[in-house]
Amino acid sequence: MKVLVAGKGGTGKTTIAATLAYILSESGYKVLVLDTDSIPNTAVTLGVPIEEAVKIIPLTMNEKLVEERTGAKPGEGWGLFFALNPKVDDIAVKYGIRFSENLGLVVVGSIDASKQGCLCPAIALARQFLRHMLTAKEEIVLVDSEAGAEVFGRGLAEYFDLMFCISEPTLKSLDISIKLVRMAEELSIKQNVILVNKVRDEDLAKRLCNKILGEKYRWHLIHYDENVERADYEGKPLRDISRESTIFKDLKTVIRSETPWLRVR
Ligand SMILES: Nc1ncnc2c1ncn2[C@@H]1O[C@H](COP(=O)(O)OP(=O)(O)O)[C@@H](O)[C@H]1O
Ligand SMILES: [Mg+2]
């Protein structure tokens, strides 16, 4: 199953992607997380020490790899002639970080051409790698993205089985999420679920969501979790949080309701 975790910055995409990764990998599934944010911090959330994490070079920034695979040298005028179908099948193993037998991460970097300037060969390599992983049979792939499915565009977005759109319990944030869901639907992602995160006042959030999202959209509340906040303060990875804490319980409920074919412990 291929899952896109989308939403505006700061809503909790990385936190939720990492928690889902723990729940599913600890339930026996092979999980690969792909970080496509231009400010990649999934590695730290998954427990790579900051000193190590700053040394990770995202695929799109790895000039040597891009040159080796696409034949295009940065700064030399790439022209139109770089390999559009570069070899990518060994990238997850060679450039990935393994946290456990079932959990790995590849820091891809942003594939948003408008943000990257036109690093065309680098983006071509990253897109080819994403296509390879999104069409692979066995694994659960969780993509921690920046913004929404539009960054992936046609030819890639449609490989996602499910998008979790992370929102905050405010009118503005829900409005943005509705737009992201509509865009995802246009790009042929069929199952779109809004996760309204960091909920402190459940009654208020429920009333707001009933009014704005109602029955038209699939949505769930994810409560504010003091344990997440504390781990963040202390620079601890989410891995160390009790599996009985709110965020784990809430997300297990989401998985059981939205993807009942996945058996979670
Ligand atoms: N359910 C939650 N409870 C408490 N804090 C949360 C929760 N979800 C996210 N946060 C906090 O919100 C901030 C932004 O989360 P993050 O996952 O980095 O967002 P994004 O990846 O969307 O930018 C972080 O400080 C994170 O610890
Ligand atoms: Mg993030």
- 84 CA from centroid of ligand 1 (Å): 36
- What's the number of domains the chain is made of? 1
Question: Which protein residue has the closest C-alpha to ligand 1 atom 23?
Answer: 10
Residue 42 is part of which domain span?
2-258
Position 118 confidence tier, pLDDT thresholds 50, 70, 90 = low
> Looking at 21-35, 133-147, 173-187, 240-254, which range is the least confident one?
133-147
Asked whether residue 9 is assigned to any structural domain, the reply reads: yes
**Residues sharing a CB contact under 8 Å with residue 206, sequence separation 6 or more, in sequence order:** 221
**Cα 134 versus chain centre, distance:** 12
Asked whether residue 61 is assigned to any structural domain, the reply reads: yes
Asked whether residue 265 is assigned to any structural domain, the reply reads: no
Atom of ligand 1 nearest to the CA of 166: 22
Single-letter residue type at 78: W
Asked whether residue 25 is assigned to any structural domain, the reply reads: yes
- 210 CA from centroid of ligand 2 (Å): 27
> Looking at 2-16, 75-89, 113-127, 160-174, which range is the least confident one?
75-89
Instruction: State the pLDDT at residue 4.
Output: 98
Mutate to test the pocket of ligand 1, among 5, 228, 241, 242 (most ligand atoms within 8 A of CB): 228
Mean confidence (pLDDT) of the chain? 93
Position 81 confidence tier, pLDDT thresholds 50, 70, 90 = low
- Stretch 173-200: mean pLDDT: 98
pTM score: 0.95
| 37 pocket-lining for ligand 1 (C-beta < 6 Å) | no
Q: What is the DSSP letter of 62?
A: -
Single-letter residue type at 117: G
Q: Are 227 and 245 in contact (CB under 8 A)?
A: yes
Atom of ligand 1 nearest to the CA of 18: 17
Please say if the pLDDT value at position 38 is more than 70.
Answer: yes
Q: Are 55 and 126 in contact (CB under 8 A)?
A: no
- 111 CA from centroid of ligand 2 (Å): 15
Instruction: State the pLDDT at residue 119.
Output: 58
Asked whether residue 263 is assigned to any structural domain, the reply reads: no
Q: Are 179 and 40 in contact (CB under 8 A)?
A: no
Asked whether residue 264 is assigned to any structural domain, the reply reads: no
Position 73 confidence tier, pLDDT thresholds 50, 70, 90 = confident
Q: Are 129 and 91 in contact (CB under 8 A)?
A: yes
Alpha carbon distances (Å) from 207 to 54, 79, 112, 144, 155:
42, 55, 36, 29, 38
Question: Which protein residue has the closest C-alpha to ligand 1 atom 10?
Answer: 12
- 14 CA from centroid of ligand 1 (Å): 7
Query: pLDDT tens digits for 135-168?
Result: 998 789 999 999 899 999 999 999 999 999 999 9
| 12 pocket-lining for ligand 1 (C-beta < 6 Å) | yes
Q: What is d(CA 225, CA 232) in angstroms, rounded to the nearest whole number?
A: 11
Position 115 confidence tier, pLDDT thresholds 50, 70, 90 = low
**b/e sequence 118-152, b meaning 16+ C-beta within 10 Å:** ebbbbbbbbbbbbbebbeeeebbbbbbbbbbbbbb
Asked whether residue 234 is assigned to any structural domain, the reply reads: yes
Domain CATH for 78: 3.40.50.300
Asked whether residue 17 is assigned to any structural domain, the reply reads: yes
Instruction: State the pLDDT at residue 117.
Output: 58
- Stretch 8-16: mean pLDDT: 97
Q: In what order do the strands lie in the sheet with 140-144?
A: 97-100, 103-107, 31-35, 140-144, 2-7, 162-167, 191-199, 218-223
| 17 pocket-lining for ligand 1 (C-beta < 6 Å) | no
Please say if the pLDDT value at position 80 is more than 60.
Answer: no
- 148 CA from centroid of ligand 2 (Å): 12
